[in-house]
A and B are shown apart, each in its own frame.
Chain A
Amino acid sequence: MTFDEQAIASDLDARVGQLLAAHEPAQADPQEFLGARFDAGLAWVQFPEGHGGLGVPQSFQEQVNAALNAAGAPEPAVAKNGIGFGMAAPTIAAFGTEEQKRTFLRPLYIGEHIYCQLFSEPGAGSDFASLATRAVRDGDDWIVNGQKVWTSNAQNAQMAILVARTDPNVPKHAGLTYFLCDMTDPGVEVRPLRQITGEAEFNEVFLTDVRVPDANRLGAQGQGWQVALTTLNNERVAIGSGVPTAMIGKVAAAWRAQPELRNPAMLDELMRLWVESETTRLTGERLRQQLVSGQPGPEGSAMKLALARLTQAISGLEMQLHGEAGLRYDDWTLRRPEIVDFIGRGPGYRYLRAKGNSIEGGTSEILRNVIAERVLGLPPEHRVDKDIAWKDLPR
């Protein structure tokens, strides 16, 4: 540790001490405590002062979290508000005005605002930039109409990150704008979307004359694509970490507990996947060390790609390991889980749910394009629609 780092570390210790002294963690109301933590700059230390941070490197967050956890302090609902913490917050921090950061970051952090993501549409999946949801200016507001899909947590969300088309007369990437949308607006209708696992983790969201104040516009009008890329890069990192290690742990536990399931050919396959889970964990760890501060780049796409391949291979092997038990499923009733769970429930669920890993947050094919073009500098795909106004594209 350098002198500066030591100074930061001891300053953080002091701030944690003051926070704990002023708000007895065992008695404090969780939202009140989290609010005080935010105001003390200990929410996300890399953010600017006044916005939940102190403008110090992100690597110091771990120290703060450890100290507060040790004291039994209430923790922010990161899992319940994955979109908020993983995607909305870094995007607001990067593109929000002072006023927007002041308005939106604190409620997000203390759990008042659960977020969902209104990006994909039935006609705009991999070609997300071709989306058709329209936002039309009306005085100080925008009137939004359209249909979104694959929206997890929409039924619980107070807020959404939304990308809509504000100018159909320019090429598709140039006509998009990014908004923070109030999900309690009467024009928002949420319908569960049932998936192959039986549950409805996602929703379809219908937007009919939804009113969004211009004050909720993140970035400039027409800058929505650039803003959305920040969100998507964060999404890919958010999905990537830790899951294969947990999944292979389940398989290893079954292997140890049930000798009758063992088979020498499977052991080598299991070890191959165990090794790859370990190398993926280390790759993620190195990526974190490289990106201690700053935004994740397209390299994050690689983690998502590795995760998808591994979770599918591991869960496929797990089904075969269980043999007869793999013929059974735990529950086909329509559930609406609040938290996405790749590793809970039974092997059949894990196998089916993992199929989504190579589709959600960018298909593996799109991610390979991203890596090939933006990391490796290979020639881009032929794009016939690049210079044509969105309204003139063949549909």
Chain B
Amino acid sequence: MTTANLLYTDTEDALRDTVRRLFAERCKPEAVVTLYDHPDADFTGVWKTLAAELGLAGLLVPESLGGAGASTREAAVVMEEIGRAVAPVPFLSSAVLATVALLKTGETQTLRSLADGSTTGSLTIPLSTPPGAYTATVRVGASGLIGRVSSVADANTSDVLVVPVSGPDGLELHTVARAAAGMKVTPALPLDMTRPIADVEFSAVASTRVDNGAAEDAVAEALLCGAVLLASEQVGVAQWCLETTLGYVKERKQFGRAVGSFQGLKHRLADLWLEVSSAGATARYAADTYARGEADTATAAGVAQAYCSDIAVHAAEECIQQHGGIGMTWEYPAHLYLKRAKSDQLALGTAYHHRARLAELIDLPM
């Protein structure tokens, strides 16, 4: 077994700089927060730059299919930066979940348009779906797809939906244009407004079956890859929360001292730093293990989700608490991170779910 490289290459660092600069210019917290009062606030320009101009929508797609031929190592760096900026871009739903599902089926047409960023796609499952067996709630009717899927990430802004469908011989995978006749996409009001969710209803919708018999594997692979990469987003969220809190407690004075000089806070920050560092190593291990196609990828993904999802929430909660009153205000960006962290904790399975699944994987039966 090759040893995992848990560090970042120079290329990965350069990629990080590029993405961080983009978000610093065009995804400032004061802009992101407007989404809570104006859900239609338009960030498609940022996404277009990220996806098409920088070519990052195709990171996981081979060059022969118009992608960048990179791996989860690079995609993880992008996810970290998305987490740091709570950027409202559909990278996870389009460039990871929908893309990986299509890649696994051998579909190429939609895949090419997702990879070059001209089209945005969404894997039509509830965002809270954990990796493992997925039971479709959409079926093939006499005149098209029928059914309903709730809480689908970025469904209302996607051009194409990649839909797991229950067919006569098991799971199928179909593509559907969001604007097709018989489609009804109803935006829900999410806890985390930076990752929109919508309920999708299919009433006899014409679709294209694309799975080539590999729908089960395709959905499983997409969820596994999503779980791996979500951990990196959680690390990015946690890092922002820790760094911002550190900056604040060094400046904020009470009782004539910086509040960061009190052990009641600094010891908790030392513990949090250790947790965030561990989350970083763990998410990196999962990304590297997936990229190398190691046999224990499912375990690495489970460990990363079981750990990083709780650490991001802990970091965001500490961020609010250690800021005191200011942390509770609408104006201060801490709440954006708490909402993203808490939603991310539920996305693709809770830590409880991942621990239960890991118990099976490492043979600790109940």
Contacts and interface: CB of A to CB of B under 8 A. Distances in A.
B92 interface: no
A282 B352 contact: no
A280 B249 CA distance: 27
21 contacts: A252-B362, A256-B365, A271-B306, A271-B355, A275-B303, A275-B307, A276-B307, A279-B307, A282-B6, A283-B274, A283-B281, A286-B281, A286-B284, A299-B277, A365-B267, A372-B266, A373-B266, A376-B269, A377-B246, A379-B258, A380-B261
A282 B6 CA distance: 8
A372 B6 CA distance: 24
Interface string A362-395: 0001011101110111111110000000000000
Interface string A343-379: 0000000000000000000000101110111011111
Given A267-B359, A376-B246, A380-B261, A282 B278 contact: yes
Counting contact residues on chain A (CB < 8 A from B), the size range is 35 or more
Contact of B271 (A271, A272, A283, A368): A368
Nearest to A305: B274
B249 A275 contact: no
For the residues of B in contact with A, the DSSP-based class is helix
A282 B307 CA distance: 12
Contacts of B6: 282, 285-286, 289
B290 interface: no
A38 interface: no
Interface string B323-366: 00000000000000000000000000000100110110011111
B8 to A, nearest CB: 11
B270 A282 contact: no
Contact of B261 (A262, A264, A282, A379): A379
Interface string A249-265: 00010011001001010
B266 A282 contact: no
Interface in B263-294: 263, 266-267, 269-271, 273-274, 277-282, 284-285
Contacts of A299: 277
Contacts of B179: none
B258 A275 contact: no
A377 B364 contact: no
A225 interface: no
Contact of A378 (B260, B279, B366): B260
A372 B363 CA distance: 39
B270 A268 contact: no
B273 A279 contact: no
Given A275-B358, A378-B260, A268 B352 contact: yes
B366 A264 contact: yes
Interface string B117-137: 000000000000000000000
Nearest to A276: B307
A283 B278 contact: yes
